[in-house]
Amino acid sequence: MNLNIKDLKAKYLSGETTVKEVVSSIFSKIEQTRDYNIWIYTLNEEELSFYLKNLEDKNIEDLPLYGIPFAIKDNIDLVGIPTTAACPEFSYIPKKSAFVVEKLIQAGAIPIGKTNLDQFATGLVGTRSPYGECKNSINKEYISGGSSSGSAVSVALEMASFSLGTDTAGSGRVPAAFNNLIGLKATKGVLSTSGVVPACRSLDCVTVFAKELDSIKEVFEIVNACDEEDIYSRVYEKVECEEKAKFSFAIPKKEQLKFFGDEEAKKLFEEAVKKFESLGGKAFEIDYEPFNESANLLYSGPWVVERFIAIKDVITKTPQIVEPTVRKIISGGENINAINYFESEYILKKNRKKAEKLFEEFEFMLTPTTGTIYKIEEVNNNPIELNTNLGYYTNYMNLLDLSAIAVPAGNRTNGLPFGVTVVAKNFEEEKLLSYASKYLGV
C-alpha cells in the first residue's frame, strides 16, 4: 500500500480506504518482516483504539496528518508504552509523550510502535541491539545504518508514512542513505528533545525520515514549535530562501574525499555534483579539514562525557547490561577532564568561524552521506573502525551547529543505494528543502 501522506489523505477523503484498513495492512506487513528486527514494540488493538477513536469526530480536512501512520525510535517517549533505548533493563513507561510526538498526534497521526536502534543511540550501524541486528531494506546481508535503524527501515518497507529518529553523530542521515530515503536533520534545538533519552544532550536532534520531500516538509512544519520545557529548545528563525538560477556550492577537495575502496560510491558522488551543476550550480573544492577535525572530537573529545552522564547509573552499577561496544565507547567518558573540554571547545570555536565564512561564500556544501556501506558480518568483525568510517561526513554537524538534509543519489550495481547530504547554516531549512527539491526534481 502507498503510504504517501498526500495520497493517503486523498483516499480517506474519497472513501477509498479507512484508517482501520490502513493500520490492518501495516500489521500484516509487520508480521511478514519480523526477521528484519525493525520493531521493539508495536501497539496492540486496545492501545491503538485510543488514537483511532480520537479521529472519529474529526474532519479529515481539519487535521494535516489525519490517520497518517508513523514510527517512533525507541529512545523517544510515547505515553503508556515502554521506552527501552534498546536496553530492556533500562525500560520505563512514560507518563506523557515526547513534545514532538504530542504535536504529531494532535495533528491526527497514528503511532504504530517503537523501533529498534543501536543501544542508547550509540552507533551508525544498527547492529548494537539486544533486540537483534536491524537489516537493510534492500539487502538483508547489509547494515541498515543507525542508530535510527528501525525508524528508517519501517518507512522503507512501507509500515509507516514517516518516522522519527534522532541524530547526534549522523543517525538521522546514515540510515536514510542506506535505505533510499530522505532524512532531515534540522537545526539543533528546533525540534524539541523533551521526552527523548539523551545521548549527548547538548547536541541531540530529533529527525524525520520519509520517502517524499513533501512529507518531510509537512511533518517539519508541525513539529518545529518551541518547547518551554526543553532547555535546549530554540525558536525557529526561518530564513527565507531565494531561488537562484545560478549558484555556487562547496565540495571537499578530491584528496580529502574518502570512499574506503567503494569506487561505485565515488562515481555516484561525482554524478551528484554534475547533476547540481546541470541545475545551475558551480562546484568549488574547499578544505574539508576543519569539518574533519571537528568530527574527530565527537568520540575522542569531551562530548563522550555526556553519553556517560546520560546512563551513569546503568553503566556504573550494572555495566554488564550495556552492549559491549557501546559500553567500551561510553566508559571512556569517565576519565575526560575539564582541560580536555576547553581545549576541544577552542578547536570548535575556530572551526565554527571557518564554517560561517564558508557558508557566506557558498549556498551550501555537498558531501556523500557516507563513503561506503558494509555487510553486517563486516561490522561485527570490526565494529569501531567501520563505524568511524561511516561518520566521516556526519560527525561534525551538531558540533558546528549546522543543518542538513540527506537525499538519495542513485544505486550501485548490486542495488544498494547511495546518498548525498546538502549542508547549510543553522535555520536554513528552507534553503535545504529548496535545493533538495531542485535536485530530486519535485
State the DSSP H helix or E strand holding residue 176, giving kind and residue range, or none if neither.
helix 174-178
- Asked if residue 84 lies in contact with residue 78, where contact means CB atoms within 8 angstroms, the answer is no
244 belongs to the catalytic site: no
Set of cell numbers at residue 380: 561485527
The catalytically annotated residue of 144, 147, 151, 194 is: 147
Cell numbers placing 111: 503511532
Helix axes 213-223, 5-14, angle to 10 degrees: 90
| Catalytic entry in 9, 11, 73, 258 | 73
39: helix, strand or coil: strand
Q: Please confirm, yes or no, whether 149 is among the known catalytic residues.
A: no
Helical spans, DSSP H, in 279-417: 289-300, 304-310, 312-317, 324-331, 338-361, 376-381, 383-390
* Grid coordinates of 334: 569517565
d(Cα 247, Cα 235) in Å, to the nearest integer? 28
**Which residue from 413, 408, 439 is spatially nearest to 178, judged by alpha carbons?**
408
- Whether residue 38 contacts residue 156, with contact meaning beta carbons closer than 8 Å, is answered with no
Length of the chain: 442
d(CA 253, CA 284) in angstroms, rounded, equals: 9
136 DSSP assignment:
P
d(CA 305, CA 271): 40
Helices 99-106 + 213-223 axis angle, to 10: 110
The yes-or-no answer on residue 147 being catalytic is yes
Q: Which alpha helices (H) appear in 73-173, and where do they start and end? A: 99-106, 149-156
Point out the catalytic residue in the list 97, 144, 161, 171.
171
Q: State how far the Cα of 386 lies from the Cα of 150, in Å rounded to an integer.
A: 20
CA angle 202, 258, 132 (to 5 degrees): 60
What 23-31 contacts at long range (C-beta under 8 Å, 24+ apart), as own/partner pairs, is 23/48, 23/52, 23/69, 23/110, 23/112, 25/1, 26/1, 26/69, 26/112, 26/158, 26/159, 26/160, 29/157, 29/158, 29/159, 30/112, 30/113, 30/159
Q: Which residues are catalytic?
A: 73, 147, 171
